[in-house]
Amino acid sequence: MLPALVDVVVVGAGNAAFCAALAAAEHGVSVLMLERAPPAESGGNSRFTAGAFRCVYDGVDDLRALMPDLSDEEIANTDFGTYTQDKFFDDMGRVTEYRTDPDLCELLVTRNRETMRWMQSKGIRFIPIYGRQAYKIAGKFKFWGGLTVEAWGGGPGLVAALTSTAKNAGIAIVYNARAVSLVAGDDGIEGVRVKHDGRTTEVKAKCVVLAAGGFQANAEMRTRYLGPGWELAKVRGSRFNTGDGIRMALEIGAMATGNWSGCHAVGWDRNAPEFGDLAVGDNFQKHSYPWGIMINANGERFVDEGADFRNYTYAKYGRVILMQPGQFAWQVFDSKIIPMLRDEYRIKQVTKVRADTLEKLADKLEDVDARRALETIEDYNRAVRSDIPFNPNVKDGRCTDGLAINKSNWANTIDEPPFEAYAVTCGVTFTFGGLKIDTSCRVIDSDGRAIPGLHAAGELVGGLFYFNYPGGTGLMAGSVFGKIAGATAGQYAARMPS
């Protein structure tokens, strides 16, 4: 049942929304979460992630504070390195071409350590990402790419833990409850209109936190803002993230900001369903491309697969794939690399071909110019600098010479059978354009003033990401800004008269 009156309404039930609800509840106010999805599909995009958090740590002691189960043996056999604030700042600036909002970026970088420890104190369990972010070299695991920590159980485990924590904190969660509009007057937010189980009602509230995701599941909005062809992209995650939170805020005068023509988009199985499948989760992604090459319908390479660690390229290469003829590509590997492929390449629902010769492999690449594809692979093989050793843990400089598009690192020849190729298209994760907020996560109106009682966090906040995204930053940003938004809302509601 929906209450008629509550102190704080949180729209959404993903990671950012739960962090907001938990932070608000710490101020002794009543909190209601509205989840548009039914329980079986709840959790927004957070539930579809692998659960990685990009967070600052200066050494093993910081990691042990987050992961007390980390054993002495694991520490002895692992080079965790460090990921400092300076490195995080550098990565955010570099991948966004220095357009990231400096105030929001500073909050993300300087508040993530305390936010992670706060989550850990709430019962969220974190573990090292051994399976995807570390390779064993000379008997020792080495982490790479600034990404070391994930939630236990991935996205589903994170959402389950947050749900349990929220319920234990007395936070009400109502499912099948779609917020359709905000109720606002001259003095700010007064509540929210909700369609629950087919009936529309109004919930009065002292303030509202919007944390309902971007507009990636809305084909019309994708095409309008991202551009022609984006209606053809697959949606990696929730079918319910259709931009409702953004729309509701804009309707009452909120300011739009950020990279509205940009999004996080990756290489995704060509034959994946239109929206995410919770049974498969994040495993339609195909992120081992730095070790091989990608070929389009014309039989040609079209990108430097080894430009950087996949953590810094995967979120923009989906767009590049979408722009290819037919909106697809094939990732090609040989037997040297096949054992190194990430686990997502081994799922049953995969579009894959295998052959004992390159000629046969080229013939099996559906919708591809086979003759040109074979020429491309042979030209690539001749261009590889085999005198430079391959090392997956560093940008090894093993490159090609003389190609129209050279490969900068990890250029392995494709010459040892058997050969495999995987068909990928574009999978859109979340959109970058959204609402303008201040450093207290208050939503700003088009006149530059904070809208009293309206706060926002998560994917629907604009200004943080442009063009690209460092892997693991989405969940981290959701947590940091969710906690701030919830605390601001809780303080605001606690001060208001009953």
Second-level CATH architecture of 266-427: Alpha-Beta Complex (3.90)
The predicted-structure confidence for 394-436, as pLDDT tens digits, reads as follows 999 999 999 999 999 999 999 999 999 999 999 999 999 999 9
The pLDDT of 137-152, averaged and rounded, is 91
Looking at the DSSP assignment, which residues form a beta bridge with residue 127? Answer: 150
Task: With a cut of 90, say whether residue 138 has pLDDT above it.
Answer: no
Q: What are the CA-CA distances from residue 345 to residues 63, 95, 377 (Å)?
A: 29, 26, 21
The three-class DSSP label of residue 371 is helix
The predicted-structure confidence for 288-321, as pLDDT tens digits, reads as follows 999 999 999 999 999 999 999 999 999 999 999 9
The predicted-structure confidence for 14-73, as pLDDT tens digits, reads as follows 999 999 999 999 999 999 999 999 999 999 999 999 999 999 999 999 999 999 999 999
Q: What angle do CA 36, 40, 46 make, to 5 degrees?
A: 70
The answer to whether 183 and 190 are in contact (CB under 8 A) is yes
The answer to whether 353 and 419 are in contact (CB under 8 A) is no
DSSP string over 114-136? HHHHHHHHTT--EEE-HHHHEEE
For the chain, the structural domain boundaries read 5-215+432-495, 266-427
Q: Does domain 5-215+432-495 have CATH number 3.50.50.60?
A: yes
Task: With a cut of 90, say whether residue 137 has pLDDT above it.
Answer: no
CATH fold match for the domains 5-215+432-495 and 266-427 = no
